[in-house]
Structure 1
Amino acid sequence: KADLVITTGGISVGEEDHVKPAVMALGGETLFSGVAIKPGKPVSVGRIGKAHWLGLPGNPVSAFVTWQVFGLALIRALSGEGPAPTRRHVVTAGPIRRKPGRCELRPATLAGFDGHGREIVSFEDATHSARVGLLSPADGLMFLPADVESLPAGALVEFQPFCQS
């Protein structure tokens, strides 16, 4: 009788993938599983009967990030609300070096404005899917393109706030 079923963990590939077989055993279906983002690659979306199913990863930061991107959008759509908080462009406080391949969503903190009036974000040097302490000071997520290995300080990136201000 639920509109939405949310699970956390057990959706990785291989022997640790316990949730998708359980969803299938209930007559459910997977609409997609696995996305090219870091953290949060194994996120899954499907249906169980008339209910929507959102399978979040088990690592806490991965679960939080995928909830921000997929979960809130799904909740807003199911409740008839408008779109989630709008992404905007911000500039980076420092340079970024990363491994390209997947879009990376890093927690970031608003740190003021530059001389041109653009918002600046500060951030950690890497995303760690188990370091939840990095989430409490963060104001939102910055999106680093999949094909980018490095960005200089002052680079323009997308930013999705955790709440609309």
Structure 2
Amino acid sequence: MNDAATLLPEDEARARVLALVPPLATEWVSLDEGLGRTLAEDVMAQRTLPPWDNSAMDGYAVRASDLTGPLPVRLPVLETVYAGAMPRHEVRPGTCVRIMTGAPLPDGADAVVMRERARPVPNGGADQVDILEAVESGQFVRPRGEDAHEGALLLGRGTPLGIPELGLLWGQGQLSIPVPRAPRVAILSTGDELCRADEPPKGRIVDTNAPSLALAVRRAGGLPSLLGIAQDTRDSVSEALSRAHGFDVVLTSAGVSVGERDYVKEVLAALGVEQHLWRVAIKPGKPLVVGKRGSTLFFGLPGNPTSSLVTFELFVRPALRRLLGHADVAPARVSGRLDGRLSKSPGLAHFVRVTATWREGSLWARPLSTQTSGALRSAASATHLLHFPRDASSLSHGDGVELLPVSWGA
């Protein structure tokens, strides 16, 4: 039997991962800390905003019915109202009020004429103005309660918190918000060939996986902790993973394939981790193992640096986003066109690192010059992953392609 036929497709593997993700408890954080999080509870409006109709333009507050006849219409100006001040006069029929953007609309007025569509009367000072065009009721008026009505739902549970959403909450005078707590993520590298950046290499190479994954975790909203580097022995891997208590997610890199000294899968089983998937029909990243013990999710990522980043993007980041309360967690996908040619044998979906640029009305994706998973250069400068479908064998220049924006870029 073809080995590739027994491997899980990427979307099915991600669905299995997400089915294992537990909800996290709620914590309260300041609004400053809420960016990128999601609401853990519904938030009701405590204030009506804006609290009154107000002007969207510098101009003149008028009664629209006064402007239905021949133009221009000359009106006396009762006062000038600035933002932050309340009107002192009602706009009676045949009168108007000079008004600034954001200022409360005076009683009686139902529209605003832009300053550019009005002409002060010569020698009339600020007391008279000729209105040069008609307006409809409500024109250039921001209605009371446009942002929120007291007692109504302001933002629902699960709402992603971007800058506008936090602005709404600030406008309500809210200083803290309930959000799922940030997931705690332990990260372990394995391999006799690895050393820390502050150690003399002595025939080894510096471990880049753990610090790179820690940055990816932090960017995804998690709290990373490094467990160090385990040697390629059963005891060393077991000792390191035994220190992973209390974490929501544990990431290991390397040691999950079928090599003689690949002990991660074996040690996870010995520690009571139930394996839910192993090996996915993708390149890079085929030797991925995912398991769970209690509420802790374990990812055994491949050891090649680019493979670990790609599998993080496809499987770990969606899981972290689900832990953070996001509903839409699958990697985003956009349409583009291939700038070049690609070929492969059918059986595995390839995720090709590309640099995508916009030209001629399309997003053109050019594959990086190297695609080897052992070199970080094959991920540096990538803006997207190009999905080369599992059963396809070739893609030609100009072909439509599916692109996944990467989160690891600048």
Matches within 5 A, 1:8-157: 8-81=253-326, 82-114=328-360, 117-124=361-368, 127-157=371-401
User: In 1, are the aligned partners of 2:346 and 2:393 still within 8 Å (CA)?
Assistant: yes
Range 97-106 or range 29-38, more displaced: 97-106
User: In 2, are the aligned partners of 1:6 and 1:55 still within 8 Å (CA)?
Assistant: yes
Range 15-24 or range 61-70, more displaced: 15-24
Q: CA RMSD in A?
A: 1.7
Which residues of structure 1 form unaligned runs of 5+? none
Q: Give, in whole Å, the separation in 2 of the partners of 1:91 and 1:73.
A: 25
- Corresponding residue SS for 1:77: helix
Q: Partner residue of 2:251?
A: 6
- Sequence identity (%): 36
Q: Give, in whole Å, the separation in 1 of the partners of 2:395 and 2:404.
A: 19
- Corresponding residue SS for 2:382: coil
Structure 1 position 137, deviation (Å): 0.7
Structure 1 position 157, deviation (Å): 1.2
Q: Give, in whole Å, the separation in 2 of the partners of 1:124 and 1:139.
A: 10
Q: Which has the higher strand share?
A: 1
Note the alpha carbon deviations across 1:55-112, whole angstroms, 9 max, x for none. Answer: 1001111111101100101111111124244111110001112222200001111122
Q: Give, in whole Å, the separation in 1 of the partners of 2:289 and 2:374.
A: 19
- Tell me which amino acid in the other structure corresponds to 2:277: F
Greater Rg, structure 1 or structure 2? 2
Q: Give, in whole Å, the separation in 1 of the partners of 2:316 and 2:382.
A: 18
- Corresponding residue SS for 1:31: strand
Note the alpha carbon deviations across 1:6-61, whole angstroms, 9 max, x for none. Answer: 11110002423311111111111110000000010001111123201111001111
The structure with higher relative contact order (CA 8 Å, sep 6+) is 1
Range 25-34 or range 73-82, more displaced: 73-82
Q: Give, in whole Å, the separation in 2 of the partners of 1:33 and 1:106.
A: 22
User: In 1, are the aligned partners of 2:314 and 2:331 still within 8 Å (CA)?
Assistant: no
Which residues of structure 2 form unaligned runs of 5+? 1-245
TM-score, with normalisation over the residues of structure 1?
A: 0.91
User: In 2, are the aligned partners of 1:11 and 1:19 still within 8 Å (CA)?
Assistant: yes
Structure 1 position 156, deviation (Å): 1.1
Structure 1 position 143, deviation (Å): 0.5
Structure 1 position 151, deviation (Å): 1.1
- Tell me which amino acid in the other structure corresponds to 2:351: L
Aligned residue pairs, count: 162
- Tell me which amino acid in the other structure corresponds to 1:83: V
- Corresponding residue SS for 2:316: helix
Note the alpha carbon deviations across 1:94-141, whole angstroms, 9 max, x for none. Answer: 111222220000111112223xx1210111366211121121211021
